Amino acid sequence: MILDTPSLYFRAFFGIPESMTAPDGMPVNAVRGLIDMIATLVRNHRPAELIATMDADWRPAFRVAAIPTYKAHRLAEGDTTGVAEQVPDTLLPQIPVIERVLDAVGIARMESPGYEADDVIGTLTRPGTGAVDVVTGDRDLFQLVDDSRPVRVLYTARGIRNLQVVDEAFVTDKYGIPGRAYADFATLRGDPSDGLPGVPGVGEKTAAALITRFGSLDALLAALDGGVTDGFPAGARAKLAAARDYLRVAPAVVEVAADAPLPDADLRLPAKARDPEALVVLSDRYGLDAPLNRLLDTLA
């Protein structure tokens, strides 16, 4: 089981009131919420291995170089460096606490310099890794589903206790495309939440029709460049031709990496806390006794 940790702690932060505080009054809603999420996931799914992925770089330079608008709307106000993300003031100090808690419990935490958590997940799910469940609220990771291994996404849109299991059949049913074609579909459609423009005038239905007809973005572009006219919905061919520069660079932005350098780590679930003394200090400092006891009981 691979956790898209930023997706989960943002969900916890916005889903739990900030009145959930440490003894000194610091909000710990994201910390407590994430701990309880992990306990629920382990109890309900019993993975053999568990990895909490993190963003070493939420807006990697290679993606910005390809499409400068990538996540630009999420830059912190007044930032001129292009690296500071808008994060609520009361969430920001909770992130280091989350990292310290994961380390003290003994849950593997993994990131890769210059890459997003998505890329770490993509690398961890590359062929040969066996069965994987990816827990996320990010549709971008639907591109990783693969029934043959299998790789599934446990999608959190309806909550951690009502996860949607996303496999190839789900993608086909939801979007009307081949089960492994989500990245190609998203490239055409675009995604405003990531500052990805898509092809102007090509919406979800046209994008689905194009990917279904040609099978992949590569095949679609080969037909476009080869002068093929059959199979293009009315007006779509001209729109694609006009967006050829975008389509040349967009896959490097949309597709998660499969080759991010990763450290060695023990991914096995700990039966007890790796650093119990540190965990006691964290529990006392931030008032985490109840959620940590629930997690440790589940692990044991």
Residue that the structure tokens 């910005």 belong to: 64
Closest residue by Cα to residue 143 from 6, 151, 135, 43: 151
Q: Are 76 and 84 in contact (CB under 8 A)?
A: yes
Average pLDDT of every residue of the chain? 95
Residue 10 confidence (pLDDT): 97
Q: Are 7 and 137 in contact (CB under 8 A)?
A: yes
Would you mind telling me the total number of residues written for the chain in this entry? 300
Q: Are 120 and 113 in contact (CB under 8 A)?
A: no
Residue 255 confidence (pLDDT): 96
CA distances from 264 to 56, 75, 109, 111 (A): 16, 32, 11, 11
Residue 227 confidence (pLDDT): 83
Residue 129 confidence (pLDDT): 76
85: helix, strand or coil: strand
Bridge partners of residue 187, in order along the sequence: none
Lowest mean pLDDT among 12-16, 38-42, 82-86: 82-86
Q: What are phi and psi of 224, to 5 degrees?
A: -65, -50
What is this structure's pTM? 0.94
**pLDDT confidence of 83, banded at 50, 70, 90?**
confident
Q: Are 117 and 5 in contact (CB under 8 A)?
A: yes
Q: Which pLDDT tens digit goes with each residue over 234-276?
A: 889 999 999 999 999 999 999 999 999 999 999 999 989 999 9
Q: Which pLDDT tens digit goes with each residue over 150-191?
A: 999 999 999 999 999 999 999 999 999 999 999 999 999 999
Burial string for 256-290 (b: 16+ CB within 10 Å, else e) reads bbeebebeeeebebeeebeeeeebeebbeebbbee
Residue 112, sorted as left (phi over 0), alpha (psi -120 to 50) or beta, turns out to be: beta
Q: Which pLDDT tens digit goes with each residue over 110-158?
A: 999 999 999 999 999 987 778 999 999 999 999 999 999 999 999 999 9
Q: Which pLDDT tens digit goes with each residue over 186-218?
A: 999 999 889 999 999 999 999 999 999 999 999
CA angle 64, 140, 295 (to 5 degrees): 110
Q: Are strands 51-53 and 108-110 parallel, antiparallel or unpaired?
A: parallel
28: helix, strand or coil: coil
Is residue 78 pLDDT above 90, yes or no? Answer: no
Q: Which pLDDT tens digit goes with each residue over 29-77?
A: 999 999 999 999 999 999 999 999 999 999 999 999 999 999 999 998 8
Helix (H) or strand (E) holding 36: helix 29-45
Q: What are phi and psi of 238, to 5 degrees?
A: -65, -40
Bridge partners of residue 165, in order along the sequence: 154
Peptide bond preceding 150: is omega within 30 degrees of 0, i.e. cis?
yes
Helix (H) or strand (E) holding 48: none
Is residue 81 pLDDT above 90, yes or no? Answer: no
